[in-house]
Structure 1
């Protein structure tokens, strides 16, 4: 398998290990496969009886090729999902005749990010060991990515990890899941700004790594890293094959801010999975919804909401979709992204926009409708959904097709978002036993201004200490 950049030449290809370790392409673009592996209906039928770990190997091995030995890849996969607390790993819960919830919060940090980051940490450690290298993980989080990345990397002997989160803009549980991990190689940094500020600092740091000592490199764990997308493709296949694919088509409703989770569904569809529709579910930070409704991908002031993991206005992975819609023309995407960087606006021609609307639906929910959905769902089914999942369920209710099974992705455990659950008038679930003392554990994090110089100085100060 070869990979190309969304902003580069088609002839400038990379292998999987290069993509794994680089994260972001040198030209500022994102890596995508040169071509997608294809799964026939007969092959998809064979996947129906596999365990989650077995299915993962079948789906991602074509993306990895011989860059990682088969036995190493299988061990990394098995170890990654052994830590989940449900035997199905990603169980389906039926809400009504034709609506299902795919529970993606049974991993060690209670969020869907565990699916990719448990595996990513292990693959990074292997690749660095093979190449005799050490690296610094640098990532930004709107809440869940940070905890999952830290959990996936904290035991690594070849990685130090720096995670940026927006100060006072993540839930208490989300913050403490990061800041109470006191491993020597873990560094939490609160940035005085929002998630987009954190994400931009990460991108700028990757663009110019000259501040690092020779022999050290930055590694991405945000969904700009293709490995994240690759691992998330699996649960679309898992849910669909359990609900009748390939004989039946499935619609998925996906809470998303950075477009990575739903882009994985787009990749699954491109591989042959019969997905009828992908529904983009957003909160009030609705840049994606505005694009699919009005061809309006433009920045607005970021709002702080009850679903903070989606408080994102610049959706990094949207560039990957644009690349596909524009026929993999890197020069075109480079110009579009430069324009967006300059004036905060992006529009595509009508033909391409109509094509996007054929593939995706979208729906936006505000805080009141999120709380209403959480409350009504509980009254009807006794099921408590976190506020992000609630946006997906509400979008299902508004846009789902009565003749097609619709799956809403449940992206986090409700215990992580007590404010929303309380405002919906429901009791907050208890923390799992393994986290029962989370709110009393010692925290350790540093507060920095929204400054690239301050961030680089902080990283270098740490490097000098060791």
Structure 2
């Protein structure tokens, strides 16, 4: 299995090289040369596999340069830190199923991929020697999950940018209270889109990137997306055992990474296994506008109670665009260059094609809070605001003849303010979160300027 860029400007890579490259050197994103597929006989064999064994089966379809025993070890170590034996359990709540993705060390779905990615980085560095400096941006949960995945690892420094004052307080504390000497938190005076733009700009400075051996942990790294494919298949198999041959998924998403993993899973499985992917956004509705009208245009970021989706430029959208454009790298490059220059991309000609893959709904702030309250009253189950966005969209867009699985992307205690608004009382804090406020924290607050960030990285990077 080899990997290519969405913009067609690099030679094909092996998986380990793709992991270490992160963002393609031509500015594009990495994808497999061709997507594998599985058949019904394989699904029969996978039906009752524990999560870790299923992960090995799926990852092996995409990875052929890591020996099987080494891959087994990487997977086992990555999920040993999860609190639930099923890693990503599925529970039925009323007329929807909830796929709980928050049982990892930082209580967010990003742990599923970033525990594995941290171990992959270490694996490659131990065998090939050298060092790396990880650079990433976060709208909330990616930063803490990435830090948890690499804190204390030799040969790795990590620099995480987050928008100053625009994450939840607990999200910020989960990052800034990690005091390992290889961890550097940077709060930028701006939005997540500002931070992400800076990170991409630094990666596109190839001299700087090579000098400091930069690595990516954002979902621009293909390994992030690949790890997330597993839980879609795991959830599908759970419902298949209950007599459901075809299911839908509802995915709260701002960066398009989580739902793109669902798109890969949909193409991986036999036709009709996953029928529809419901794309749920908050008031920052660029992705919903794209699905419904073909309007992919940047707007002003609105602050909501679901900050991980307070995004107007979806980093992973380019991967789907590659398939929408018939795997034409030159066309994708022209599209993305045009979007960078104008902030808009007219894809209305593809609306019918997109509708075969997705349905979409933008959920308002009022609807989000009301959904948390109503769902708790009816089922005694507490949703975080991101998950509430997905549940609300599912309730309105689901098909009556198919089950729908809603992705629960974070523990509700991470967003106590939103829960308090909905229920009139704060959610109980798990011990790991309750102690955060008493810890010492460390964070640099810097202007959202690329040269300022580069200077900070250069001063603190491994060389």
Q: TM-score, normalised by structure 2?
A: 0.97
Q: C-alpha distance in 2, partners of 1:88/1:337?
A: 40
Q: Which runs of 5+ in 2 are unaligned?
A: none
Q: C-alpha distance in 1, partners of 2:255/2:404?
A: 22
CA deviations 1:289-313 (Å, max 9, x no partner) are: 0011111100111011010010010
5 Å-filtered alignment, 1:211-226, equals: 211=208, 214=211, 216-226=212-222
1:206 aligns with 2:203: yes
1:119 aligns with 2:116: yes
Helix, strand or coil: the match of 2:423? coil
The structural deviation recorded for 1:42 is: 1.2
Helix, strand or coil: the match of 1:353? helix
Moved more, 301-310 or 238-247: 238-247
Aligned residues: CA RMSD: 1.4
Runs of 4+ in structure 1 off by over 3 angstroms are 211-214
Contact 2:23/2:220 (<8 A) preserved: yes
1:27 aligns with 2:23: no
The structural deviation recorded for 1:462 is: 1.2
Moved more, 455-464 or 399-408: 455-464
The one of 348, 353, 364 aligned to 1:366: 364
The one of 62, 70, 86 aligned to 1:72: 70
Helix, strand or coil: the match of 1:384? coil
The structural deviation recorded for 1:425 is: 2.2
Alignment CA distance shift 1:90-1:369 (3 Å): same
5 Å-filtered alignment, 1:16-55, equals: 16-55=15-54
Counterpart for residue 287 of structure 1: 286
5 Å-filtered alignment, 1:262-411, equals: 262-273=259-270, 274-348=273-347, 350=349, 352-411=350-409
CA deviations 1:125-165 (Å, max 9, x no partner) are: 11112111200000000000000000001131121000000
5 Å-filtered alignment, 1:256-267, equals: 256-267=253-264
Contact 1:136/1:218 (<8 A) preserved: yes
Q: TM-score, normalised by structure 1?
A: 0.96
Helix, strand or coil: the match of 1:229? helix
Contact 1:259/1:316 (<8 A) preserved: yes
Q: C-alpha distance in 1, partners of 2:395/2:209?
A: 50
Counterpart for residue 252 of structure 2: 255
CA deviations 1:68-123 (Å, max 9, x no partner) are: 121111111111111111111111111124x1000000000000000000000000
CA deviations 1:28-50 (Å, max 9, x no partner) are: 00001111121101101211111
Q: C-alpha distance in 1, partners of 2:233/2:144?
A: 26
Q: C-alpha distance in 2, partners of 1:433/1:306?
A: 23
Moved more, 237-246 or 124-133: 237-246
Q: C-alpha distance in 1, partners of 2:279/2:300?
A: 20
Contact 2:286/2:295 (<8 A) preserved: yes
Contact 2:75/2:116 (<8 A) preserved: yes
CA deviations 1:355-411 (Å, max 9, x no partner) are: 011210001111110000000001100111000000000011000011101000000
Counterpart for residue 413 of structure 2: 415
Contact 2:151/2:182 (<8 A) preserved: yes
Contact 2:25/2:206 (<8 A) preserved: no
Q: Which runs of 5+ in 1 are unaligned?
A: none
1:106 aligns with 2:103: yes
Q: C-alpha distance in 2, partners of 1:89/1:427?
A: 29
Q: C-alpha distance in 2, partners of 1:327/1:137?
A: 32
Q: C-alpha distance in 2, partners of 1:68/1:213?
A: 24
Q: C-alpha distance in 2, partners of 1:401/1:36?
A: 28
Q: C-alpha distance in 2, partners of 1:135/1:196?
A: 24
Q: C-alpha distance in 2, partners of 1:94/1:418?
A: 24
Q: C-alpha distance in 2, partners of 1:304/1:456?
A: 27
Q: C-alpha distance in 1, partners of 2:424/2:21?
A: 44
The structural deviation recorded for 1:429 is: 2.3
Helix, strand or coil: the match of 2:240? coil
Counterpart for residue 133 of structure 1: 130
Q: C-alpha distance in 1, partners of 2:134/2:56?
A: 25
